[in-house]
Amino acid sequence: MNVQNRSKASDEEAEASDDALIGRALAGEASAYDSLVRRHAGRLLTMIHAQVGNRDDAEDLMQETLAQAYFKLNTFAGKSSFFTWMYRIAFNLTITKRRKRRLESTHTQTNIELAPTPQDPARSADQQMADAEQVDRLRHAIGCLEAGRRTVLVMRDIDGMDYAEIAEVLAIPKGTVRSRLHRARLDLRELLTRERPNDED
């Protein structure tokens, strides 16, 4: 295949729907599954990382997810998006990993990765230290949430998933997602208020 034909094929794969690529992958076209991976891998890895808080663990789980998704591809029924289906596989693998390793007791989730605060050269060292302490407080508070509420909070407010996607991954009604998220946000606010440094000290 010459350069022009390869470019044309690449453009066609980029425009193909997930369903079309899945059909081709099931027909034995390995490059079609590779295209699916390239399309979704970045977001999937980011979201797994947010759940486990460790880059190495996230990459291991990512590889397990892609392998399982490939071997289970014929079970994909199209009732949800392909990405949501893959994320559910990743989520189940994450839960299994946590149960096996019993990561750091009830505060396992304190390692949740939050976006780093951009450093402004004009800000003083004291101000930058205060920002870092605030991020640490937030990470710790999230880790203290009840597991079910914490999971929904991470999926919605950190991963950016919508209510339907969360409901699909967790196999719960959207109303339950909303109520857990509401409760999680209230709990988080209470925890942060409780841990707020006393300005008079």
pTM of the predicted protein model: 0.64
The ranges assigned to domains in the chain are: 1-103, 111-201
**Which DSSP string corresponds to the chain?**
--HHHHHHHHHHHHHS-HHHHHHHHHTT-HHHHHHHHHHHHHHHHHHHHHHH--HHHHHHHHHHHHHHHHHTGGG--SSS-HHHHHHHHHHHHHHHHHHHHTTTGGGGGGG---PPPPPPTTS-HHHHHHHHHHHHHHHHHHHTS-HHHHHHHIIIIIS---HHHHHHHHT--HHHHHHHHHHHHHHHHHHHHHT---TT-
111-201 has which CATH code? 1.10.10.10
pLDDT tens, per residue, the chain with 201 residues: 554 444 444 555 556 899 999 999 999 998 999 999 999 999 888 888 877 777 888 899 999 999 999 999 999 988 888 998 998 999 888 888 777 765 444 444 445 555 554 555 555 565 555 556 777 788 788 888 888 888 899 888 887 888 988 998 888 999 999 999 999 999 999 998 886 655 544
CATH 1.10.1740.10 fits 1-103, yes or no: yes
